[in-house]
A and B are shown apart, each in its own frame.
Chain A
């Protein structure tokens, strides 16, 4: 069964802290997406990964194919990073449908 698990479900931190959000999945994948959704806003694609590591500004995403695990890191977190972060996986046998994690609601306090 194709499953995606995210943790934590909720995360509150102080400005400047290093943030880690985790995503685990059940079987082989074609790609994994990290997405950001602000309240009332649309979904922004942050990264698409199939292996290794990607960095964009203060955001870093890594994936370990053998362990079926990915992490999203935010360095020097800022209140504007407050949003829901979603891990979505394109499983190799999924007929191209993304399977979404439950999301992590991140609040960064000033």
Chain B
């Protein structure tokens, strides 16, 4: 069975440009998470979905970040416009309700130049 699939694996963009990341969770996993990981630090939760509903987006910088999970399966995370400080690894994870089977994707490494 495929794990959590993220794309692209790497992305380099100029500042002020938009960028989007895509995540396909494990089949049947109701809960989907987006994390941001700065170099040398632990991941920080940006948003958590239960099915298609964003139940915790308190850490998402809503002025430039947006996310959606249409139909409660795949999810996209968008940054518009990107800033130099957004350079980081963006991780997606999924789990069953209650946290069982928590699985991470390989992440998207974003470099803003």
Instruction: Say whether A and B bind each other.
Output: yes
Interface residues in chain A, defined as those with a beta carbon under 8 Å from any beta carbon in chain B: 30-31, 33, 35, 40-45, 48, 86, 90, 95-98, 100-103
Question: Which of chain B's residues have a CB closer than 8 A to the CB of A102?
Answer: 42
Interface residues in chain B, defined as those with a beta carbon under 8 Å from any beta carbon in chain A: 6, 31, 42-43, 45, 48, 56, 91, 95, 98-107, 109
Chain A: minimal CB distance from B96 (Å): 10
Pairs of residues from A and B, 3 with the lowest C-beta to C-beta distance, nearest first? A42-B106, A100-B42, A43-B104
Contact present for B106 and A96 (CB under 8 Å): no
Q: Report if A43-B91 is in contact (Cβ < 8 Å); known contacts: A31-B99, A35-B104, A100-B42.
A: yes
In the complex, A10→B47 CA distance in Å? 30
Cβ-closest chain A residue relative to B92: A42
Q: Please tell me which one of the listed residues B6, B56, B102 contacts residue A31 in the complex, with CB atoms under 8 A apart.
A: B102
Question: Which of chain B's residues have a CB closer than 8 A to the CB of A31?
Answer: 99-100, 102
Chain A: minimal CB distance from B40 (Å): 9
Chain B: minimal CB distance from A79 (Å): 22
Cβ-closest chain B residue relative to A42: B106
Q: Please tell me which one of the listed residues A40, A95, A96 contacts residue B95 in the complex, with CB atoms under 8 A apart.
A: A96
In the complex, A101→B43 CA distance in Å? 10
Contact present for A90 and B99 (CB under 8 Å): yes
Question: Which of chain A's residues have a CB closer than 8 A to the CB of B43?
Answer: 43, 100
Contact present for B107 and A86 (CB under 8 Å): no
Q: Which of A33, A40, A43 has the most CB of B within 10 A?
A: A43
Q: Report if A40-B48 is in contact (Cβ < 8 Å); known contacts: A30-B99, A31-B100, A103-B42.
A: no
